[in-house]
Chain A
Amino acid sequence: MAGAIVEATGLSKRFGAVMAVDGLSFAVQPGEIFGLVGPDGAGKTTTMRMLAGVMRSDDGSITVDGIDVRAHPEQAKRHVSYMPQRFGLYEDLTVEENIRFYADLFEVPRRLWEERAAAMLTASNMTPFRKRLAGQLSGGMKQKLGLTCSLVHTPRVLLLDEPTTGVDPLSRREFWQILYSLRGEGVAMVISTAYLDEAERCDRLALLHDGRMVHCDTPAGLKAKMPGAMIEVAAAEPRRVRDAVQKLPGVAGVLLIGIGAHIHVDDAGRRLPEIAAALSAAGIATTEIGEVAPSIEDLFVALLENERNAA
C-alpha cells in the first residue's frame, strides 16, 4: 500500500504443533491506530513481537519505513517502540532513571529527551513522582511510565500489547489522550486490546482467530459486514431470556450483557414481535425490548460464530 510505514506480508510463526500466526498480511499508515483483536491465543502478542524484531518470523516479510526487519533488525528498531503486555521496568531505579536509561540506549541527546520526558510526565500527571522508585508506583502509573520510556526516542511506529489491561478507567482515559496526540504527530500505532470499547476507538481493526485474519476494516465497515440485526432485551434474568429465545427461527446467537441480552436475528422487524411473544409465553418480565445498533462485541461474537460455522 502506498505511504504505509508498516507492511507485513504473509507473516507466519509456528510453535511446535501450534500455528501461532498464519499468513498474516496488513499495512499501517502513519497517524493510524490499527487494532488487533481476538480471543486468547489468537496470535496478537506473537504478531507484535515479530513486528518489534525480537522474534524472527518463520515466513513472510515485515518492513518498517522500507527497512526489512528480518534482515536489519537493529536499524528497524530505531524507528519502532514496543510496549509488551507487562512493561519491564527496573523497579530499583527511579522514574527518571528508567526514562534516562531507555533514552541512553536509543542515544537520544540529553536536552531532547529531558524536554520530551518532562512534557510527557506532565501530560500523564506523573511529574510529582519523578524521584520515586518504579517499584513503588501503582499499576496505572507503571504503564504510563512504560509508555514514556517507549516514547523518549520519538518512534515512528508504536506497538502496544494490551497496554491498559488492569489499569483504572481514569488512567485509561489519560492513556488514550496521549495516543490521540501521537496520532496527530503522525505516529503509526498497532494496539491489541481486550476492551472492546477501546477497539471502537481504533481507526482500523483486524480480527484474529487461530493466527489468521478473519476480518480487517474500520469499525463502521465491520459493523456493516454484520448480517441481520441486533435486538436488546432488558430483563432481570438474562439466562432465562437466552433459554427462551435461542431455539426460535431466525435467531443466530444470544450474547448476555449486564442489563439483559443481545439477540442476533436475521430481520429485526419480523422477529421482534415473535421474541416478545415467546418471552411473555415463558412468563419472563422485560423492562425494555427493541432494536439497537450492534456493539463491537456483538460484532465479534457474530463474526466468529460465522467463522466457526463455516469451518
Chain B
Amino acid sequence: MFGRIFHLLVKEFLQMKRDKSARFRLLVPPVIQMLLFGYAATFEVFNVSTAILDLDRSQESRALTDAFVHSSRFRIAVPAASERDVRDAVERSDVQVGIVIPAGFAELLKKGRTSPVQALVDGTNSNTALIALGYVGQIAGSFGQDYARNLAERTGRALGRPMVSVGLEERYWYNPNLNSRWFFVPGVIGTLALITIVNLTAFAIVREREVGTLEQILVTPLRPVEFIIGKTLPFFLIGLLEVSIVAGFGMAWFHVPFRGNPLVLLLGTCLFLLAALAIGLLISTVCTTQQQAFSSNFFVLNPMFILSGFSFPIPSMPQALQWLTYADPLRYYLVIIRATFLKGVGLDALWPQMLALAAIALGLLTVAVLRFRKSLD
C-alpha cells in the first residue's frame, strides 16, 4: 500500500517539476492578491470627494471648512455656489458628500446656541457613506467644543455653556490603531489557501477523469483510497507552503505581528487544509469536465467567503444564514488565524474552533471518499 502511494507521489512530483508555469501560478497570484487586499481593502476612508457650500461667509464658517479639508478625510472636488449645485453634484455622483453651512451659522454660535450644519451623503455605497458621515459629525463636533470652550473663556462664562464634556475614550485591544491591514492580512491568508487548494484538488482529479488516466490506474492494484491519498498529499504540502509564504510576506511587508504559538496555527492550518481537500474532492466527484469544475468551484467558494465573516460581520446576518456559517470551515480558520496572529492566544482559547474544524474535515472527507468510490461506477 505505502509502496503504491509512494510511486504515485513520485509521479505527481515529476509532473509538477515538469510544469514550470505551475510554480509561477502558485506563488505570484497569492502575493499579488495579498498586496491588493493589503492596500485596497481597508475600513478607513480618505479623500472623500466633497462639495462644501459656505452660505455664511464668516470667520467661523471658514474655520469649519478648513477643519474639514485639513482632516484629509475630505477633498473639495466641486466648487458650489448654491444649494442646487450641491444637490446636483451628489445626484450626478460627482461628489459623495455635500456639506452646506447655512447663513447665520456664526450668529447662532456667538449666542452660544446650537448651530446646524447640513450634510448630504450619497448612500449608494453605504459603507463609505456611513464612515464619511461619522467623520462629518466628529469634525463638526470637535469644532463646536473648541469654539464653546473659547467662547466661555472669552466671555467669562457668560456665554457658552461651561462644558461638562464626557469624552468617550475608545481603546481597541490587540490592534490599538485599528489598523485594518492587521485585520485583513491574516484573513487573506486563509481565503487564498482555501481557493488554491480546492481548485488544485478539484482540477487535478477531474483532469485524470477527463483524460482517462483515472480509470486506467484504477485497473492496477492501486486502491481508490490510495489514489486519493497519493493525489491529495502533494496539495496538502503545497497548501502548507503557500500559507507560510503568504504569511511571511504579510508579516515582512505589512508588519503584521505574530504573537501566538506557530504550532497552534500549524494545527489549525492542517485541519483547515484537510477540509479544503475534501471540498475539492467532493467537487471532482460531481464533475466530469474541467469546465464544470470551474463553475462549481465558483459556486462553492463564493458563499464560503461571504459566510466566513471575512468582510461581512456574522452577527448582522439573518438568523438562518448565521446557522449556515457554522458549516463553513473558513469561519473557524479565520478566528484561529487572527487570534494566533493578533491576540497570541493558544489552544485553551481556540479549542472550540479546532474541534469544529476537525469535525467538519472528518465529515467532509468521509462523504468525499464514499462519493468518490461511487463515482467510479
Query: Number of A interface residues, CB 8 Å?
Result: 27
**Is B156 on the interface with A (CB-CB < 8 A)?**
no
Q: Are B220 and A105 in contact (CB under 8 A)?
A: yes
**Is A225 on the interface with B (CB-CB < 8 A)?**
no
Which residue of chain A lies nearest to B212 when distances are taken between CB atoms in the complex? A88
B221-243 residues with Cβ-Cβ distance < 8 A to A are 221-223
**Is B11 on the interface with A (CB-CB < 8 A)?**
yes
Most B CB contacts (10 A, CB to CB) among A54, A78, A87, A89 go to: A54
Q: Are A74 and B223 in contact (CB under 8 A)?
A: yes
Q: Are A54 and B14 in contact (CB under 8 A)?
A: no
Q: Are B7 and A92 in contact (CB under 8 A)?
A: no
A56–B3 CA distance with the chains assembled, in angstroms: 26
Q: Are A105 and B14 in contact (CB under 8 A)?
A: no
User: How many Å from the CB of A249 to the closest CB on chain B?
Assistant: 51
A250–B207 CA distance with the chains assembled, in angstroms: 56
**What's the interface size class on B, roughly?**
20 to 34
Q: Which residues of B contact A77 (CB under 8 A)?
A: 219-221
User: How many Å from the CB of B230 to the closest CB on chain A?
Assistant: 10
Q: Which residues of A contact B18 (CB under 8 A)?
A: 92-93
Which residue of chain B lies nearest to A106 when distances are taken between CB atoms in the complex? B220
B213-272 residues with Cβ-Cβ distance < 8 A to A are 213-223
**Is B376 on the interface with A (CB-CB < 8 A)?**
yes
Q: Are A55 and B377 in contact (CB under 8 A)?
A: yes
**Is A90 on the interface with B (CB-CB < 8 A)?**
yes
**Is A238 on the interface with B (CB-CB < 8 A)?**
no
A87–B11 CA distance with the chains assembled, in angstroms: 18
User: How many Å from the CB of B9 to the closest CB on chain A?
Assistant: 11
A88 CB contact (under 8 Å) in B213, B222, B377: B213
**Is B349 on the interface with A (CB-CB < 8 A)?**
no
**Is A229 on the interface with B (CB-CB < 8 A)?**
no
Q: Which residues of B contact A89 (CB under 8 A)?
A: 211, 213, 216
A148–B128 CA distance with the chains assembled, in angstroms: 66
User: How many Å from the CB of A162 to the closest CB on chain B?
Assistant: 13
A101 CB contact (under 8 Å) in B11, B208, B221: B11
Interface string of A72-83 (1 = CB under 8 A from B): 001001101110
**Is A38 on the interface with B (CB-CB < 8 A)?**
no
A52–B217 CA distance with the chains assembled, in angstroms: 11
What is the interface of chain A mostly: helix, strand, loop, or mixed? loop
A80–B208 CA distance with the chains assembled, in angstroms: 21
**Is B169 on the interface with A (CB-CB < 8 A)?**
no
**Is A260 on the interface with B (CB-CB < 8 A)?**
no
**Is B348 on the interface with A (CB-CB < 8 A)?**
no
Known A89-B213, A101-B11: A74·B221 in contact at CB below 8 Å: yes
A91–B11 CA distance with the chains assembled, in angstroms: 12
Q: Which residues of B contact A74 (CB under 8 A)?
A: 221, 223
User: How many Å from the CB of A136 to the closest CB on chain B?
Assistant: 13
Which residue of chain B lies nearest to A101 when distances are taken between CB atoms in the complex? B11
Q: Are A93 and B212 in contact (CB under 8 A)?
A: no
B214 CB contact (under 8 Å) in A53, A88, A93, A107: A88
A54–B10 CA distance with the chains assembled, in angstroms: 24
Which residue of chain B lies nearest to A86 when distances are taken between CB atoms in the complex? B212
Q: Are A54 and B19 in contact (CB under 8 A)?
A: no
**Is B4 on the interface with A (CB-CB < 8 A)?**
yes
Q: Are B221 and A105 in contact (CB under 8 A)?
A: yes
**Is A129 on the interface with B (CB-CB < 8 A)?**
no
Q: Which residues of A contact B8 (CB under 8 A)?
A: 105
Most A CB contacts (10 A, CB to CB) among B8, B214, B215, B376 go to: B215
**Is A297 on the interface with B (CB-CB < 8 A)?**
no
B213 CB contact (under 8 Å) in A80, A90, A106: A90
**Is B319 on the interface with A (CB-CB < 8 A)?**
no
B1-44 residues with Cβ-Cβ distance < 8 A to A are 3-4, 7-8, 10-11, 14-15, 18-19
B11 CB contact (under 8 Å) in A52, A86, A93, A106: A93
Q: Which residues of B contact A101 (CB under 8 A)?
A: 7, 11
A91 CB contact (under 8 Å) in B7, B211, B215, B223: B211
A-B contact pairs, 6 of them (CB 8 A): A56-B377, A84-B212, A89-B211, A105-B4, A106-B221, A107-B221
Known contacts A77-B221, A80-B219, A97-B11; can you find 11 more A-B pairs with CB under 8 A? A53-B219, A54-B219, A56-B377, A74-B221, A88-B214, A88-B217, A92-B15, A93-B14, A105-B222, A106-B221, A107-B3
